[in-house]
Structure 1
Amino acid sequence: MYENTHNLLPDAFECASRVLKNEEKIMALLNILQYPDERLHTVAKPVEQVDERIQKLVADMFETMYEARGIGLAATQVDVHERVVVMDLTEDRSEPRVFINPVIIEKDGETTYEEGCLSVPGIYDTVTRAERVKVEALNEKGEKFTLEADGLLAICVQHELDHLMGIVFVERLSQLKQGRIKTKLKKRQKHTI
Structure 2
Amino acid sequence: MVVVPIRRIAITGETVLHQPALTVAEITLEIKELVSDMFDTMTAAPGVGLAATQVGVGLRIFVYDYEQDEIHYRGVAINPTLEVGEILDLQADEDTDSEGCLSIPGERYPLKRSDTATLHATDLAGSPYTIAATGWLARIFQHEYDHLDGVLYADRLIKPYQRELKKVYKYEGWGVPGQSWMPGEDDLEA
Q: Same fold (TM over 0.5)?
A: yes
Report the counterpart of residue 33 of structure 1 in structure 2: 10
Instruction: Pick one of 36, 42, 48 that aligns with 2:25.
Output: 48
Look up the match of 1:17. none
Written as runs of structure 1 = structure 2, the 5 A alignment for 1:124-139 is 124-139=108-123
Structure 1, gaps ≥5 residues long: 1-23
Q: What is the CA distance between 1:95 and its match in structure 2?
A: 4.1
Q: Which stretch shows the higher mean deviation, 72-81 or 170-179?
A: 170-179
Task: State the distance in 1 between where 2:170 and 2:84 align.
Answer: 38
- Which fold has the larger relative contact order, with Cα–Cα distance below 8 Å and residues 6 or more apart in sequence? 2
Give the drift of 1:81.
0.6
The separation in 1 between residues aligned to 2:9 and 2:23, in whole angstroms, is 20
TM-score by length of 2: 0.79
Report the equivalent of 1:174: 158
Q: 1:110 to 1:30 in 2, by over 3 A?
A: farther
Summarize deviations over 1:138-180 as a string: whole Å, max 9, x none: 0111100111000110000000000000000011012442232
Count of matched residue pairs: 165
Divergent runs of 4+, >3 A: 108-112
Where 2:105 maps in the other structure, the secondary structure is strand
Q: 1:67 aligns with which of 34, 44, 62?
A: 44
Unmatched segments (≥5 aa) in structure 2: 175-186
Structure 1's 47 and 99: CA in aligned 2 closer, same or farther, altered over 3 A? Answer: same
Q: Aligned-pair distance for 1:189? A: 4.1
Q: Which residue, 74, 88, 91 being the options, matches 1:96?
A: 74
TM-score normalised to structure 1 length: 0.78
Secondary structure in 1 aligned to 2:6?
coil
What's the C-alpha RMSD, in Å, of the aligned pairs?
2.3
